Every structure is written in C-alpha cells, then in structure tokens.
Amino acid sequence: MPFHESWAVILNERGRVLDAETKQPVTGEYTAGWIKRGPSGVIGTNKPDAAETVTCMMEDRAAGRLLRPEAPEPEAVGALLRQRPPPCFSYGDWCRLDELEVAAGRRAGRPRVKFTSVEDMADALGRRPE
C-alpha cells in the first residue's frame, strides 16, 4: 500500500487507493477511516467517510472497474485460507496477552504496555501464531 508517512494515510482519492508513482487509482483497492484521512474524528466522522468510499466502490462496479478473481466462488476463500493461513490468536491467547500487558504496565507505573507486533505477541506466548 502506498503509505504517505507525513500525513499518516494511505494515498487515496475519495477512498480509492492511488498508485504512488502514477497517482492513478489501483483497481480493487479502497480505504476508509483514519488510514484514509488521518487520525482525527470519532465513529460519527467515519460514517460519511466510509459512505464516500462505498460510493466509489459502487461507481467502479457499475463501470466494470473491479478485480476479476480467478476463483470467484465462496468456497475459494476457504481454500485460500487453508493454503495460506493468516496469523491469528485465540481468545485464550488474547486473555494471556492482556494479563502480560497489564503486568508490564504495573512494573512501568502505567495501565499497560501494549505489544505492537504479531511477532512480539507470539514470542510472549512462547510460540508462533496458529
């Protein structure tokens, strides 16, 4: 994703992700919320922002500017996830990570010290994510 460091957003126009070099929309890539417009606002701010992005998605659909997956059937999603499982943690893992963050925070005089990467969370649990 073309991330604009100084603005802290994914480069986009009305929610359509833009190619960093050509500044043209990237087919099938969209963004909304803080990553679209920067870290400001609340849930109410995100609603019209998301509506703008969805409007662009619908315009692109009507114009035939969407991705054409090789295997569009719903079953293909399950097959892809089995082939390339994403890193994930169970609810039990989350409970343990919560305990560890709160304990680290207590030692630092803070409410908690957050893990900031999947790798750090997996290391804290003593394993790789399932």
pLDDT band at 129 (very low <50, low <70, confident <90, very high): low
pLDDT in tens, 13-45: 999 999 999 999 999 999 998 899 888 877 787
DSSP 8-state symbol, 21: T
* Domain boundaries, given as residue ranges, for the chain: 3-62, 91-125
pLDDT in tens, 61-118: 999 998 888 888 989 988 888 898 887 888 999 999 999 999 999 999 999 999 988 8
Could you tell me the sign of the dihedral formed by the alpha carbons of 54, 55, 61, 65, in that order?
negative
What is the residue whose two structure tokens read 């994510």?
A: 129
Quote the distance between the C-alpha of residue 3 and its chain's center.
13
